[in-house]
Structure 1
Amino acid sequence: MGKWTRRTFIGAGVAGAGALIVGVAIRPGNRAPKVMEMMAGADESLINLWLKIASDNTVTVIAPHSEMGQGAQTALAMMLADELDADWNLVKFAEAPAHPEYANYHLARGFIIGEAQVPSILMGTVDGVFRKATQHMGLQVTGGSASIR
């Protein structure tokens, strides 16, 4: 690589700053406040989009995927109970509402990017782009099927 000119250095700095601004703007942050009113009651805390804990120690798993005999609801609840050392009798499962925050961007990302390796520094930006795209699609897509929500 040759010597950098002042113009090249300034151009690279502007391009890097622009990429940083776009990346920070697209990053999702905490999405739980957007669904708080819908999913949590007065005595409940929505820890994130997938976990709700009530004042009576009831733990609720929230998932946007339907149960079709595979045992996914029970398995998720059991894993959560094990990780939190929660009483199994106080663990519940709830279907997520038809809300854009529960859109499955991983599947869209997999279809478009496939097995391509994305540098870890860009992963948040790439995930943010696909999350925004799936929120605007109005679809809740799962592995081998799709359902319009």
Structure 2
Amino acid sequence: MADSKGFTPDPPIRSRGLKIGCVGAGMIMAECHLAAYKEAGFPVASIASRTRDHAAAVAERWGIAKVHDTPEALIADPEIEILDLAYPPDQQPDLIRLALKQPHIKGILAQKPLSLTLDEAIAVRDEAEAAGKVLSVNQNMRYDQSMRVLK
């Protein structure tokens, strides 16, 4: 809904039909991403993490129907169209590269930092562009007061 100046707080949602696969079941995923997806009405189709038991507990909490044994199995699942990757930065680039090879994955949301080095982050960005896939890096808290104090 636009305010008196014609501004809307967020762009209109174009689709709620793309199925999301979540890799990672830590605090960011369990408390933030999955809550936001539920509120927005975005379908989370599956989840995986370093341990199946932890992923299963988060899946039960949020009503996610499918739990994969590994992140690689989730990425290979042809039902997944959007990959939300909340995983350690030393492991994200390999998972992103695997996702870029999957024809069913249209876009990837990765957490910061994208990798452990700037050179690898640039390489992954370029590989995503060459694959014709959207790769976004979540920059939550970038302008938060706590980040300004740390600077």
Scaled by the length of structure 1, the TM-score of the pair is 0.24
Larger Rg: 1
Higher helix share: 1
